Copies of this chain bind each other. A is one copy, B any other.
C-alpha cells in the first residue's frame, strides 16, 4: 500500500501550488522535488487562481501569514475546491496568536480541506476553538504518548468526522485519521525537532501524495507521514560526530530523494486503530 502511494507520486509528478511561509519555503520546494513532485509558489491575490488551475493540488501553510496573503489563501482554496483539487491546511502556530487561530478557523469554514496537518496543540486549538501552542511547537502538556494514544485517536477521528478532512497529528507518535479509521505511525527521530520546517516539508509532500493518490487520501497521508519519519531515521544514521542539524536537514531531503517503495514498506512502523 505504501509502496503504491510512493510510486504513484514518482510516476505522476504532481504539480503542487504552495502558499507558504518564507522561513522554510526553500526546503519545501526541494522536499517536493525529492519525493517526485514539482513545486510552484505563488501568493498574490491576482496570481493564485491561475496558478492553482494549472496545478494538481494546493498546500496552504499559515506560518508568516499576513494581510496580503490571507485573502489569497481563501481565493486559492475556493478555486481548488471548484476544480476538485486536493487542498491541505497546515495551521502553523494556531493557538499561539489570535490572528493565526482566527485565520485557520476561517479557512476551515470557507474551504473544504482534504487534509489538515499540524502538531497536537494546533489541532486541539482548531477542534476546541482555543488552545495553547508554544510558538510553533506543541505544548508539552498536549503531547501524544503511548498512555493517551487511544484518547488522541478518538479525538482525531471525531475532528475528521466534523471537518470531512483526513487529520494528521504529527509528533513523536503520528496519528492519521478519517472518521472511521486511524493509522498510528511510530517512525521518526527526536533530532528532527532540532531542524526548522520538517512539519512544513511534510505538509508539502503530503499534498503531492494526496494529489497523486486521489482515490485513497487516508493511505496517501499515512504514506507521506511514514516517508518523512523513515527518512528522519535514515538520515540520522548517516551523521558523523561533527555533524549537526544543518547536515541533518540536508540528509533528510537526500533520503526522501532516494527512498524506494520497497524500502518504505520495510521501514514503516504502522498500526491500525
Contacts and interface: CB of A to CB of B under 8 A. Distances in A.
Contacts of A260: none
B134 A47 contact: no
A26 interface: yes
A211 B184 CA distance: 38
B194 A33 contact: yes
Interface in A69-110: 93, 96-100
A50 B27 CA distance: 27
A29 B135 CA distance: 13
A196 B51 contact: no
13 contacts: A15-B135, A22-B22, A23-B25, A23-B26, A26-B27, A30-B196, A30-B246, A34-B244, A38-B137, A42-B93, A47-B65, A47-B66, A242-B254
Interface of A: 15, 21-27, 29-30, 33-34, 38-47, 50-51, 54-55, 63-68, 93, 96-100, 134-137, 194-197, 238, 241-247, 249-258
Contacts of A43: 64, 66
Contacts of A41: 21-23, 63-64
Contact of A244 (B51, B54, B253): B253
Contacts of A21: 41
B250 A42 contact: no
Number of copies: 3
A99 B134 contact: no
A39 B63 CA distance: 12
Contact of A245 (B51, B55, B67, B253): B253
Contact of A30 (B68, B134, B245): B245
A34 B254 contact: no
A57 B136 CA distance: 15
Contact of A99 (B29, B40, B46, B247): B46
B251 A15 contact: no
A162 B256 CA distance: 45
B68 A68 contact: yes
Nearest to A237: B242
Nearest to A191: B257
A54 B99 CA distance: 14
